Amino acid sequence: MEIKIVENTKEVLCDVLVVNKFEGKETSNSLVNKYAPEDFTGKAGQIFVMHTQKEFPSTYILALGLGDESCMDNNIIRENVAKAIKKCVELKAKTVAFDFSTDYGFCMPLVMGVNIANYHFDKYKNKKAHRIAEIYLSNVVPEAVNVASIISDAMKLSRNLANEPAAFSTPSKLAEIAQGFEGIETIVYEEDKIRELGMTAYLAVAQGSVQPPKFIHMKYVPENPKKRIAIIGKGLCFDSGGLDIKPAASMLNMKDDMSGAACVLGIMKALPKLHPDVEVHGIIAACENMPSGSSYKPGDILTAKNGKTIEVDNTDAEGRLTLADALCYACELQVDEVVDIATLTGACMVALGSAASGIMGNNDDFVKNIIEVGAYAGEKFWQLPMWQEYRDNMNSDVADMKNTGTRYGGASAAGMFLKEFVTDNVKWAHFDIAGTAFLDKPQKEFCKGATGAGVRTLLDYIICQ
């Protein structure tokens, strides 16, 4: 889709001209003001469509309700613009122009809404989904359009990779993609080097699969960085559960268990185009968790990179084992902050559903800052507790800890497990995106499938430093 900036969108020859309406106010379009029914009040989400009968260059005019102008925010614009785009798709429109009349800075959320709603994963379908080809905007800041487009493209890459079958998004494929980013220095460690680095908890998870593990370290380094951040994405390219195998229904969408890794890849591809003054390390411990004669077993004792020992209580609690070694590696880079993002626990999905991601960390100010950025970007985060009781439930008789606790408080227990592998001098936050990374039905601006969870929040956070 191409976005074009013009002087006056009212004069554009297009399929649909979209105008906004606030409650209690007229639109900037005379036809809408004259012919809209009384019940079209401008309430957020209301849509009125009419044929222009050649009184305007566009074929249709779509009036979009945005509610009370005094309550305007990014989320209202983005979500409702997405509704308008979906209606334009129903009309089989190819070209859409926006004529928004408001003092609110609508540009970035509008572009984000357009791009998110115009996304379809139909690579393997013979009949492709209809897409908008051109968007026309006026009264916008070109740089804001550019930034929103870059973030949208990062989300698209992330969504595509998580929607792909596991046969495509293998550890080797993720490594290949990471090595192709312009402006990013990428190192890929093979199994021998991974073992030499002491990441044997990660290797234990990988050893049951014929797909070789790939430890991926991407670096974006500006000339004078203000801060150094590491972002770790869980890279389970397929999770069968291992020898503690999942039920068939629970395994169906486990291609998405690398959504954290997909998020990191999207972010790293975007950074050289955004030019933030922040050094960013993107880290992925990519592998598969499969049952075989070589799989790791319940009762095995593993030694993580920092020397701590882990009794394997359940082979389906594998993501935290890969993240443990990745966290140790990241902290050794002497960064200021570390964020890990992972489809980690079903417990978080039970607690928060698909409406919000869980977040935990070792510094409340850092966590709250991310939550605020997420609210601006359009992603909800809910801080979960990190209390010693959750850690005590993972005590082991034969090792420093088990990799699971009781059946209760699983998301917080996982967070307490990960904390064991973060050094005290590094600010750390953990995102549990188990419920938000992949939707089983359309929700707000998103269609069914992968969402690119975390991409826009983390990019906005980096840009704002």
Closest to 254 (Cα-Cα) out of 237, 266, 269: 237
Tell me: pLDDT of 103 over 90: no
Sign of CA dihedral 365, 263, 240, 207: negative
Chain segment 133-176, per-residue pLDDT in tens:
999 999 899 999 999 999 999 999 999 999 999 999 999 999 99
Average pLDDT over residues 66-73: 94
Q: What is the pLDDT of residue 104?
A: 86
Instruction: Name the residues annotated as catalytic.
Output: 246, 320
8 A C-beta contact, residue 453 and residue 435: no
Q: What is the pLDDT of residue 105?
A: 86
Phi, psi of 292 (to 5 degrees): -165, 180
8 A C-beta contact, residue 331 and residue 339: no
What's the pLDDT band for 100 if we cut at 50, 70, 90? very high
Q: How far is CA 430 from CA 139, 144, 320, 340, 437, in A?
A: 39, 29, 11, 5, 15
8 A C-beta contact, residue 282 and residue 233: yes
- CA angle in degrees (0–180, nearest 5) for 128-132-136: 165
Instruction: Specify the range with the lowest mean pLDDT, choosing from 92-106, 160-174, 376-390.
Output: 92-106
Amino acid letter for position 405:
G
Between CA 413 and CA 416 the distance in angstroms is 5
Average pLDDT over residues 369-377: 97
Closest to 399 (Cα-Cα) out of 282, 321, 458, 451: 321
Q: How far is CA 24 from CA 44, 71, 78, 228, 241, in A?
A: 12, 13, 21, 48, 55
Q: What is the pLDDT of residue 219?
A: 98
Sign of CA dihedral 115, 121, 123, 125: negative
Chain segment 253-289, per-residue pLDDT in tens:
999 999 999 999 999 999 999 999 999 999 999 999 9
Sign of CA dihedral 142, 143, 144, 150: positive
Half-sphere exposure of 364 (CA within 13 A, CB side): 2
What's the pLDDT band for 407 if we cut at 50, 70, 90? confident
Closest to 231 (Cα-Cα) out of 430, 456, 412: 430
Q: What is the pLDDT of residue 121?
A: 97
Average pLDDT, the chain: 97
Tell me: pLDDT of 203 over 90: yes
8 A C-beta contact, residue 217 and residue 326: no
Strands 278-289 and 214-220: antiparallel
C-beta atoms surrounding 74 within 10 Å? 19
Phi, psi of 97 (to 5 degrees): -115, 145
Q: What is the pLDDT of residue 422?
A: 98
Average pLDDT over residues 379-402: 97
Q: What is the pLDDT of residue 197?
A: 98
Tell me: pLDDT of 102 over 90: no
Tell me: pLDDT of 290 over 90: yes
Average pLDDT over residues 401-419: 96
What's the pLDDT band for 74 if we cut at 50, 70, 90? very high
Between CA 403 and CA 389 the distance in angstroms is 15
What's the pLDDT band for 10 if we cut at 50, 70, 90? very high
